[in-house]
Chains A and B, each alone.
Chain A
Amino acid sequence: MVQEARAHKEADPSEDGEERRYPDPYGLYRRWFEATGDSQAWTYGETVSPEELEELWRRWFETTTETFEGGVGTQNGLAGDMVPLWEEMAGELREEMLSEGDLPEDPIRHFVRWYRANSERWSEAADQHLRKEEVLESAGRFFEAYARSHKQLRRVSEEGLKNLRVPTRSDVARVAKLVVVVEDKVDRIEEAFEEFIHGDSEPATAAAVGSLEERMDRLEGKMDRILDALEKLGASGDGESPSRANGRGIFLEDSEEG
């Protein structure tokens, strides 16, 4: 990137009078496009000699690999660590492609062949790199910073839109949540009906109703006996607490019935 900055500088006098230089973000691409522009002109020209074609490929290839090297060379951490391997592999690729004496083969075919031969070495280096503590830490910090800035941006945007009385995604989500809740209630009703129709819920048979009636009768009988007992106690006035006396009676009766 430093090289690019030198090649494509923007004037900006600093306080000490020296001209400040900034990297040109399009520098790498510009070089690549220059080469592809040449290639287009040659492609659509009337005649191309084998020498010219070889020269075209050479220029295209060298520009592309230089651009690639320049690009990765500007990266710190993640890509920067891989630069030596990439440079080594790019050098091998260039040598191999341009040293065959004849016209070089289609660069993409060549790349595929080269990739098959080198992918394992490359993958291994990438895997080792990604496991490094400093890389993991750097990635963790990056995600945290990214998430925090996104959170801030979201908050500010939502507040701005709220002031303008424009509904936000959160407002839409809140409404959608209400719809989901209503839908869920309808689903439950539908499910209950389906269970009834398909027999998942057992219908009340005559036997079941009869048994329930019997139990109700027994319960009623007990209640009557309790009331009778209470009345008798109230009339005799023997001083014992009605609740204790009747409670004992009821428990005895229950335990007897099992």
Chain B
Amino acid sequence: MAERRGALPPELEETFEKYAEGARIMFEGARARTGQTSKEEIWAKNKARLYRYAPGAEKKYPVPILMIYALINKPYVLDLLPGNSLIEHLTGEGFDVYLLDWGVPGDEDEDLCFEDYVFDYIRPAVKRVLRTSRADEYTLFGYCMGGTIAAMHASLFPEKLKNLVLLTAPVDFAPENTGLTGLWTSENRLDPDLLVESFGNIPSEFIDHGMQMLKPVTNYVGTYATMWEYLLEDKPMETWAAMNKWVKDGTPFPGSAFKQWIRDFYQHNKLVKSEIELRGRRVDLSNIICPLLNIAGERDHICLLPQAEATMGLVSSEDKEFFALDAGHVGLMVGGDAKKGLWPKVNSWLAERSGAKKS
């Protein structure tokens, strides 16, 4: 066989090698070394881990940033690759960055719900952040569902919160604002109780396909058209590989939290009506008084623009800004556009509000 292969013209052999590589990626998934910014684990609870990034680096700003991501997918999208990482960028600019990673829930975590995450995870994590950084105030940064959770935490515990940054954080779940997701999750079509009774935690594949079906042509075909283009034209494809790895590397949605997410948020839109109660305390977003930077993507099909924009009318902050980028849900976080759009915006906005040390 090797002799026969040797008889092939080199261009053809190279093409076949690329075909083989493309086929391997399609069947096995892409490989990439993600999340490489140095970090230190400073606290752990159940599956969750609190990391401090670049712990040895000099901090220019005394107000630390605590990042929170969604309960589905893993948070390393915030630290995707060297040179393509928001966390690396912010630590490089002198910010003290922490990330609360929820970890991968097991069957035993089926009962975890939003109140547990807010009271038992974020609250103690905030204490650890303040203690570790010897700070009196902090910035809370929430991305996607992590933004919704961050907003709820901010409304219940506004003390010591210096700034709130929400990135593609859905708050208004009115049917006219939720697009296809709203149609699929409407009360007459989706019974979250049945799904949780059947599966316990909702499998990541289920969530993944649901997300991909929001744009099936782009996600199931376009992704691989891009891959072939990069492969055949010898373009660098590290970012594509890292993104492909991340998209397929989901986490199960804890059953109780899933029920709440579908019932209270999508089906009854309780957050904007201040009807969400966590451990008996009503979540009222008007309790948020700190400076707010609210960022959304104009081409986001997961958190539609009006879903995020609604926050502006609900908080009491005087210093608040809504910033819309011409990008999709993840495209605004990584890639060339992120470096020109999101990163400098977050950096400059926080720099003015994080009490830079005088040199």
Contact = CB atoms under 8 A, between A and B. Distances in A.
The yes or no verdict on A and B being binding partners is yes
Interface of A: 43-44, 46, 106, 108-109, 111-112, 115-116, 119, 122-123, 126-127, 130-131, 136-137, 139-140, 143-144, 147-148, 150-151, 154, 169-170, 172-174, 176-177, 179-180, 183-184, 187, 191, 194, 198, 200
Interface stretch (B218-226, B282-290, B314-322): B218-226
Interface of B: 1, 4-5, 7-8, 15, 19, 22, 45-46, 106-110, 120, 124, 127, 131, 180, 183-184, 188-191, 194-195, 197-200, 213, 215-218, 221-222, 225, 228-229, 232
Contacts, number: 98
Nearest to B16: A43
Given A151-B198, A173-B110, A183-B46, A116 B225 contact: yes
A106 B15 contact: yes
A140 B184 CA distance: 7
B4 A119 contact: no
Contact of A112 (B131, B188, B229): B229
Contacts of B46: 180, 183-184
B191 A144 contact: yes
Nearest to B188: A140
A123 B106 CA distance: 36
B217 A123 contact: yes
Contacts of B5: 44
B213 A130 contact: yes
B232 A126 contact: no
Nearest to A115: B225
Contact of B194 (A147, A194, A200): A147
A147 B229 contact: no
Given A119-B222, A143-B190, A148-B198, A172 B107 contact: yes
A184 B180 CA distance: 39
Given A44-B4, A122-B217, A198-B131, A180 B108 contact: yes
Contacts of A176: 106-108
Contacts of B106: 173, 176
A154 B200 CA distance: 11
Nearest to A120: B217
Nearest to B45: A187
B198 A46 contact: no
Contact of B19 (A108, A127, A147, A148): A108
Contacts of A111: 225, 228
B195 A147 contact: yes
B229 to A, nearest CB: 5
B194 A151 contact: yes
A194 B198 CA distance: 41
B184 A139 contact: yes
A127 B217 CA distance: 9
Contacts of B8: 43
B210 to A, nearest CB: 10
Given A109-B232, A154-B198, A173-B110, 5 more contacts: A112-B228, A130-B216, A151-B194, A180-B108, A194-B131
Nearest to B120: A184
A173 B107 contact: yes
Nearest to B1: A44
A140 B216 contact: no
B42 to A, nearest CB: 12
A148 B193 CA distance: 11
16 contacts: A108-B22, A108-B228, A115-B222, A122-B221, A126-B216, A131-B180, A131-B183, A140-B188, A143-B195, A147-B199, A150-B198, A172-B107, A173-B106, A173-B108, A180-B109, A183-B46
A127 B213 CA distance: 9
Contact of A148 (B45, B108, B194, B222): B194
Nearest to A198: B131
Nearest to B201: A173
A136 B217 CA distance: 18
Contact of B183 (A116, A126, A136, A151): A136
Nearest to B111: A177
Contacts of A177: 108
Given A119-B217, A173-B106, A176-B107, A136 B184 contact: yes
Nearest to B15: A106
Given A140-B189, A154-B198, A169-B107, A119 B218 contact: yes
B199 A136 contact: no
A44 B217 CA distance: 35
A151 B197 contact: yes
B232 A106 contact: yes
Contacts of B222: 115, 119
A180 B120 CA distance: 13
A137 B190 CA distance: 10
Contacts of A183: 45-46
Contacts of A144: 191, 194
A68 B124 CA distance: 55
A217 to B, nearest CB: 36
B124 A191 contact: yes
A155 to B, nearest CB: 10
A170 B225 contact: no
A115 B229 CA distance: 11
A253 to B, nearest CB: 38
A80 to B, nearest CB: 15
Contacts of A119: 217-218, 221-222, 225
